[in-house]
Amino acid sequence: MPEKKRICLIIPCYNEESRIDLNSFDKFNDDLVYVFVDDGSSDGTFGLLKSRESDFFIVLKMEKNSGKAEAVRRGMLFADSDYRFCDVEWFGFWDADLATPLEENVNFILYRDSFNPEASAIFGSRIHRLGAKINRSFFRHVIGRLLATFMNALFKVGTYDSQCGAKLFRRDSVKKAFGDPFVSKWLFDLEIIIRLRGMDMLECPLKCWSDVGGSKLLTFRNILRVAIDIAKLWKQYG
């Protein structure tokens, strides 16, 4: 069986006081270390996180709300350069609501070691199939498939599910993926994949994923923002 590899996860948080279950993160502190990035929350999120801070539970505070993309980027660069994580081989980001269970980290590494040991990045993929429990609304699924098909046609990224909020990166890919500020705030997951073209990347089908109440829904305003971000990405990378 492949040797376990220590993983550092970046957890972006914005007004998560009433939703985040910190006890769930404690269960995996032997295999995982965390950097929780408070993205300028206006509720008690930062105080809640600080109350649990430890050697494996690091808390960063953004001076103002800058969005998930920048919170993830800052957290990744911090972890990559901090001496406490010098023995960490893999860095990643995970949604604070744990829509993707933390157990999937082990599956990511096993999948990579079995199918592409050279891969420098592993992305969760929400594929409906026998043996998996993917609890996603029909509306979200349809919108996601339409967006993914369009993105693949436009940018030739070849992914099934670029927007899943569970991704791991080997240390050698971190600066290439996160070194510069993102052009896109809403499609930064896709921007990461575009930046890493030329490196080996792998999608790992998730065994379990579920919508969590309170997450942001697609509204007309958000769809407009996505359209604007597509134009920005095309201008930068197309």
Give tens-digit pLDDT for 100-121.
Answer: 999 999 999 999 999 999 999 9
The reply to whether 61 falls in a domain is yes
Contact 209, 165 (CB under 8 A): no
Residues near 53 by beta carbon (within 8 Å), at least 6 away in sequence:
59
Q: How many domains does the chain have?
A: 1
Contact 56, 22 (CB under 8 A): no
63-80 average pLDDT score: 97
Q: Check residue 5 and give its pLDDT.
A: 58
The reply to whether 38 falls in a domain is yes
- Domain enclosing residue 140, as ranges: 7-237
Residue 182: CATH number of its domain: 3.90.550.10
Q: Check residue 213 and give its pLDDT.
A: 60
Cα torsion angle, 78, 83, 84, 88, sign: positive
Confidence label for 29 from pLDDT (cuts 50, 70 and 90):
confident
Confidence label for 145 from pLDDT (cuts 50, 70 and 90):
confident
The reply to whether 165 falls in a domain is yes
Q: Is this structure's pTM higher than 0.85?
A: yes
To the nearest 10°, the Cα dihedral for 140, 15, 180, 145?
A: 0
Contact 230, 146 (CB under 8 A): no
| Residue of 66, 101, 52, 83 lying closest to 188 (CA atoms) | 66
Confidence label for 31 from pLDDT (cuts 50, 70 and 90):
confident
The reply to whether 1 falls in a domain is no
The reply to whether 2 falls in a domain is no
pLDDT above 90 covers a percentage of the chain that reads: 80
| Residue that has been written with the tokens 């420098």 in this structure | 120
Q: Read off the pLDDT of residues 153-198 as tens digits, 9 standing for 90 and up.
A: 999 999 999 999 999 999 999 999 999 999 999 999 999 999 999 9
Q: Check residue 220 and give its pLDDT.
A: 64
The reply to whether 53 falls in a domain is yes
Neighbours of 119 (CB within 10 A): 21
The reply to whether 36 falls in a domain is yes
pLDDT(214) > 60: no
